[in-house]
Structures are given as structure tokens and as C-alpha cells.
Structure 1
Amino acid sequence: MEFELRILGSSSATPSANRHHTAQVLTIGNQYHLIDCGEGTQMQLMLYKIKHQRICNIYISHLHGDHYFGLAGLLSTMHLQGRQTPLHLFGPPGLSEILSLQLKYSGTNLVYPLIFHELDTTCSKKIFEDKQLTVHTIPMEHRIPCCGFLFKEKLKPRPLLKEKLPPHLTPPQLVRLKWAEDIKDEQGNVQVYYKDVTGEPKRSRSYAYCADSRYKPDIIPIVQHVDLLYHEATFLDDMRERASYTFHSTALQAAKLASQAKVNKLVLGHFSVRYKDLTPLLEEAKQVFPDADLAVEGSVFSIEE
């Protein structure tokens, strides 16, 4: 099953000629999860041939415009193109009020259900769950309420080894074996050990999106050992004081957190427009965490099972 992150935008505060505001699409199986929705997100979705009607959930980290000014337009386009399936929107307090006013004064009555989930950005909570996935918030430290998001696949079923299966097992018994449950008789005696007739399950994958924030090492237990970590890196470390004052992080601080959390890969983003060339930010991070990369527009990061 596909587990892939596509970067749509990575600029902070204001866009530049070749960098858009923050937006990402995480593809898990046949579902799209849109993470933040800065100005121009619709255009980026079209550029990379991502069908917005397949977006099931939208997650907004906070209410600075570079993270959600593209949302009202995207919702309106979905309406005009006749979307019917429900859309789940996760965001901080105030977002529902903002969208309600925009829809009210434009005379827009959406033709699809928009289900809003207000987030508590002060702690980590599970906000979404389906058969394959859980999503938790990650509390960040920014100038206004802000959170990141942790996406984790659930434990996967064990493959049945057909050549080792005894005959006459029922479908419910086969299901129990796939979920690591031994088959017992009425007296509680084990008839079939699941380890004898199943292989190891494919590994569960994870992605952590750490939005705008000061360096916040207390989130390390939440993001520890994730396959892919996105962390803002607005400044180089020679501007550490400026970063702290504006509630942002440096590339070096992002790398330190990735190293301390023992993640597999780090992706840097949310770059200040002062940096025309992003190479110095990447080089700074690699000094501490070698497996780092840049969240430039169009980049794709795939995680194998």
C-alpha cells in the first residue's frame, strides 16, 4: 500500500517566485490527507495532478495565513464541481467561525457535508482513526495556538502460509490466525499456533508533521522513531535569537530534534524568503543528522513497507 508525502509548498510568511505557502499531501492507500492549505494550494494540486475530490481529510495546524488562506477557495471549488462525499476538516478554535463567515457572505451553501473537528493544541490527542490509520496532534510552541500531526499505520495482519494451514479451518478461524490469535478447542487446548502457519506482518509506517514552533524537545517522546519527520527550519542557526523571538526553529535545531528522536529521515521546510539558495540550511542540518532533505515544491518522499 502506498505511503507517500508530496510537498506542495514550503515558504514561510510570504511566497516567493519559486516557493509557495505551506501545503502537503500525504497519500495512504487510495486516500489523500491534505496538511495545511496555504495560498495557491489549488494550483499546486492541479500542477501535480492530485485530484482534490479524493481528499478525505484536511488538517490545519494554526491560523496564520500562510497555512490556511487557500482553504476557502479549495472548499468552494469542491462545491462548484459537485463533490458529494463528506470532508473532514481538523483545525484550531476560530477556523469554523472564519469559514462560516466566508461562506455566509458569499451566499455559498456547500453541496457536500463539511464536518469540522476543533482541536486542542495544548496536548497530544487522537483526532482520527479508521481501519488502517490513527492521527494524533503534536503540541507546538508558536505565537498562537498551533499543533502538528502524527500519522501512524495500525498493526497489519500476518500473511497466511497456505502450505502450512491444516484443512477444514473456517473463515473466522483464518481471520483470527492473521491477527496473531491461536485456534483453541472448547476446552482451551491450542489446536493451531498462529506462529506455525503465518509469516511476519508488513511493517507499519509513520509520518510526523511538526508545524511552526520554537525548538521543543519535549515532543521527542511523541515523534520518536518515526519513519519520516517534517520539521520547520525557518532560519539558519546564526539567527537563533531571531528564530526564538518569532517562535520558529533553525535548521540545526530541527536536526538536533531528529537525532534525539532517532527518526529515520528528516525533511526541512517553512523557509524564510531571505534564503534564495537553500543549500546552507541543508548543509547545516546534515552536520548533525545526515539523512536530511529539503521540502521543495514537487518533492516526493515514499516510505516502503
Structure 2
Amino acid sequence: MTATIHRIGRDTPPSLDPLMTLVAQDMNSVNAVILDRMQSRIPLIPELAGHLIAGGGKRMRPMLTLACGRLLEYSGVRHHKLAAAVEFIHTATLLHDDVVDGSGMRRGRKTANIIWGNSASVLVGDFLFSRSFELMVEDGSLKVLKILSHASAVIAEGEVNQLTAQRRIDTDEEQYLDIIGAKTAALFAAACRIAAVVAERSEAQELALDAYGRNLGIAFQLVDDAIDYASDGATMGKDVGDDFRDGKVTLPVILAYARGNDEERRFWKDAIAGHRTSDEDLAHANTLIAQRGAIADTLDRARHYGQRAIDALGPFANGAAKDALVEAVEFAIARAY
């Protein structure tokens, strides 16, 4: 993959720097809330939570809450606690996901479940979920509480849906999109939408920001799933071939299986069932995926959803905030190149 995705007229690859610069001051306040609320009289809780929270993540979801507030010219501070709640929801789901998946690496570091064990990871994830709901309640808006609590339920549904689809080669693109729309895009959408609620904007603007976040989230996950078959551990920050060995049926596999001949389909059935998981099998899977154009088409779909995210910003005024949100979409897609 050698192409570069960026806006017409841009001479440099897209970056998150404009988004990070835009919200830097607000993020200082959010980080202070995160640091304060992850504390506990039980030392293991801040120790384990801090391992993941301080583990190099870009905190894209809370930054989106803050940037959408800037887009709407919101001048208050309510979104600081809510952005922290969004990050706690995200961190809790990561802790739980790593236990479910048996993951050993995240963001280039050992996962919490490897260091402290599954039980501690699940329980600290529960603690962070609880902290997120405390922050929502403190905000006092039933509408915000409804949006974020619903997103939390949808994320859990998506994870269960993914679990039921695991090692099932008959998983189709519709179910796959349903899974990633729930487990990834729902929190992106909620993170953006709550900014319109605290800024007391119209429902039309709420829905526009929801659409921006949702489509960005789908594009983000599509790129992640492509990278799993077209990158290395240093780039991904996790173990190479995790999805393959875990029997996760992502879009590159769905497309390669659908386009494969009888011999290729037999390989995919055996691999997804867990019978072909060696390094040589992974290399063969990568070859088949490349030969069938599955990575290129997965990224084409990511660009499609990315464009839908950008289009959703159409009703909003031009300026630094809108430019940063557009470039965040471009960055999410360009990670694959």
C-alpha cells in the first residue's frame, strides 16, 4: 500500500496535531478529572487503571467531545467531566476486551490482564464504568445520561455479537458492520453528540454530530481490521495476527472467503475454526487476502464512511474546529498507508 489519503491541495499527510492543538487546554482539565477519578483507597485500582490510561493512547474520543464543543462555540466546562466519562467507558471496554480475547499486547505494552490477571482487569474495568456513570450523574442532564448509558449498552451488545460470530466463517458483511457499528462506532457517535446537548443546540445538530462520529468510528475500525492483515506488531501496537488466531471474521476475511476458490475456502474454514493458526498459515492468509483485493476494498469502504463523516459536518460553520475534525477523519484512514 503506497497511496496517501489527504485532502485535495494538502501537501503533507493528515495528522491529529490540529485536533490536539485545538483542544489542548481543555484536555488538561479532562486529564485532571481522569487522574482524580481513577483514584481509590485500594492501591491496585489506580495502579492497573493507570497502566492503560497512561499507555500512550491518543484519547481520540474525549478529544472529539471537546472539538465538537469548539465547533459549536460552547464556552462552558460541563464537557470536561463528560469527556472523562467517555474515556473511562472506552478504557473499561479495553480492559474487558483484552480478557475476552486473551490479548497479550496493547499499544506496544503488556496488557493489564497479563500483568495483574483476568479477575483484576475485569473488576477494575467495572470500577471505571461506575466512575463514568458518577460523572454523568454529576452533570445532571438526563439526556446526556441517556445517550452515554445507551452507548454503553450498545457496546456490550456489539461485543457479545462479535463473540457469537467468532470462528464462524459464514459471518456476512451485514453482521460484521452491525458488530463494528456497535462495539466501536457507538461511543464515537455518543462522544460527539453530547457536545450538542451541553451546548443546547438543536436535535438536527445533535444528529449531525452523531452521524459524524458514527461514520468516523466505522471507518476507524475498518482501517484497524485491514491493518491486522497488512502491518506488523510495531505499527499495530498489538500481536501480529491476533484477529486471525482468535478466529475473528473481519471484512478482509469475509471478502477473501467470498472471492476464493474451493481450495481457498477450505483453508479459511479450517483457519477460522482454529485448525490453521501457525505463522505460515498467517502468511498464507495474508497472501490470499492480498490476491483477492480484500485489503484495498476494505480501505475503499473506510474512505466511503470517512466521506460520510466529513459530509455530516456540512451544516456547521467553517473554521479551525471544522478543519481539525475533517483532518481527524483523514488521519484515521491514512493510518493504513
Asked if these proteins are the same fold (TM beyond 0.5), I'd say no
Looking at secondary structure, tell me which structure has more helix per residue: 2
* Superposition TM-score, scaled by structure 2 size: 0.26
* Superposition TM-score, scaled by structure 1 size: 0.28
Greater relative CO, 1 or 2 (CA 8 Å, sep 6+): 2
